[in-house]
Structure 1
Amino acid sequence: MLRWLRERYLLVLGSIYIYNEHRGYTAIDRVIEAVRARTPDDRALIAAIESHRGDERKHYMMFRRWFERRGSMPLDVDRTFGHIDRFVEIVFRTPIDKLDTQAVIDRDELFERLCRVIALTERRGYKQVETLLKNRFVLDDPILTRIFRIIHKDEPSHWAPYEAWLVAHGRRRPRWWERAIDAFIHSELLFIKLPWLFLNPWVGRRTAWPDARDDEAYGDRPLAAHAAA
């Protein structure tokens, strides 16, 4: 019974992470697009966000290889389990895929809002990884433990460029209500969605890897970040 619980927990955990890592780097493609249009001469910011994108892609590939070694596919989870998905939907009142990139480019207040959302999401991810690195089931899997240690090392550089932009441009830091949204999304996932996924035997497996359609979805965008993948 304990072995089944462990394997089910790791399956659910890995499925949620591989979705979020894939969503992370594909969403960052749009951020890079906006930054290149807004401030094409700010090479330091562009490079930092491209590095963030590269790390998210690297993390995704580590989870994919973890599943491949296990000879299985992740559970077929969708944006319901995405932290950044929920945050953008609440703050911008639209799904990420329908976010008006041109409006974000044109309006400082929207880009500022997006920077706060990304920074809060990355900080939340860092805290969650610290918790998982104390989890018995995770520590029993040496490969998964190594993956989370790498993520823990990479994570601080991910929120840094967005917070630095806010400071450099005299923009405000996140307010209590934005932090409350972040905490609500995390609690919703931890206490409602994750147990539901864990206990639901009818959730199927993916039949293809999340990145199978990356070229089709993002290949027409002239982003140098693709070279980092």
Structure 2
Amino acid sequence: MKQWFARRYLDLLGSIYIYNEHRGYTALDRVLEAVKAKHPEATELIAAVEKHRADERKHYTMFKRWFQLRGTMPIALDRTFGHIDRFIEITFGTSIDSLDTDAIIASDDLFERLCRVISLTEKRGLKQVEILLDHPLVKQDKALHKIFEVVHVDEPDHFLPYDKWLAENQRRMPNRREVWIDRMIHSELLFIKLPLLFLWFGAPRRKEWRDAGESNPKPTPKIAVPG
């Protein structure tokens, strides 16, 4: 029973993370479009967003390799399990796919709001990874633990550039409402969605990888497992 519980928990954890990592780097394509159009002179910020995008892609491929080593596909989750999805929907009133990039480019206030959403999402991710690195079930899976170690190293670079832009442009940092939304989304996932998913034994699995239709996908990296 303990072995089944551990495998089930890690299966769900991996499925949630691989969805969010893929959603992260594909959504950042929209952010890059906005930054390059709005602030073409901000080469430092553009480079930081490009690195953020590359890291998210790297993390996705590491989780992909982890599932391949287990001989299974991730559970087919949708945007209801995406932190950035829910944050965008609540703060902008639309899905990421329907986000009006032109409107964000034209409005300093909307671009500022987007920076705060990304910053809060990435800070939440760092906190959660720190918890998981000390989780006994994660520690038992050396490959998965190694992935989270890599994510933990990369994560600070993902929110600092957006905080820096807000500060340099004399824009406000997240207020109480935005911080509350972040906590609510996390609590909703942790205490409602994850338990329900755990009990949904017939949850369908993906038939193909999310990056299957992407042009020039990079090779899936090997996971270095210590010991």
TM-score with structure 2 length normalisation? Answer: 0.94
CA distance in 1, matches of 2:195, 2:143: 24
**Which residue of structure 2 lines up, in the alignment, with residue 155 of structure 1?**
155
CA distance in 2, matches of 1:39, 1:114: 14
CA distance in 1, matches of 2:183, 2:11: 24
**Which amino acid is 1:49 matched to?**
V
1:20-59 aligned at under 5 Å gives the runs 20-59=20-59
Q: How far does residue 41 in structure 1 lie from its aligned partner after superposition?
A: 1.6
CA distance in 2, matches of 1:121, 1:166: 15
**Which amino acid is 2:75 matched to?**
L
CA distance in 2, matches of 1:199, 1:138: 20
Deviations 1:34-78 (A, max 9, x none): 000001121111000000000000000000000011111000001
Gaps of 5+ in 1: 220-225
**Which residue of structure 2 lines up, in the alignment, with residue 140 of structure 1?**
140
CA distance in 1, matches of 2:39, 2:87: 25
CA distance in 1, matches of 2:213, 2:78: 15
Alignment of 1:198 onto 2:176: no
Structure with more helix by fraction? 1
Q: How far does residue 213 in structure 1 lie from its aligned partner after superposition?
A: 2.4
1:199-214 aligned at under 5 Å gives the runs 199-214=199-214
Gaps of 5+ in 2: 221-227
- The total of aligned residue pairs comes to 219
1:67-216 aligned at under 5 Å gives the runs 67-215=67-215
CA distance in 2, matches of 1:104, 1:34: 7
CA distance in 2, matches of 1:197, 1:208: 20
Q: How far does residue 84 in structure 1 lie from its aligned partner after superposition?
A: 0.1
3-state secondary structure, aligned to 2:211? helix
Moved over 3 A (4+): none
**Which amino acid is 1:179 matched to?**
V
CA distance in 1, matches of 2:15, 2:213: 18
CA distance in 2, matches of 1:11, 1:41: 43
More displaced 10-residue stretch of structure 1: 176-185 or 197-206:
197-206
CA distance in 2, matches of 1:62, 1:33: 26
Deviations 1:108-154 (A, max 9, x none): 00000000000000000000001101111100000000000110011
**Which amino acid is 1:85 matched to?**
D
**Which amino acid is 1:178 matched to?**
E
**Which amino acid is 2:46 matched to?**
I
Deviations 1:81-103 (A, max 9, x none): 00000000000000000000000
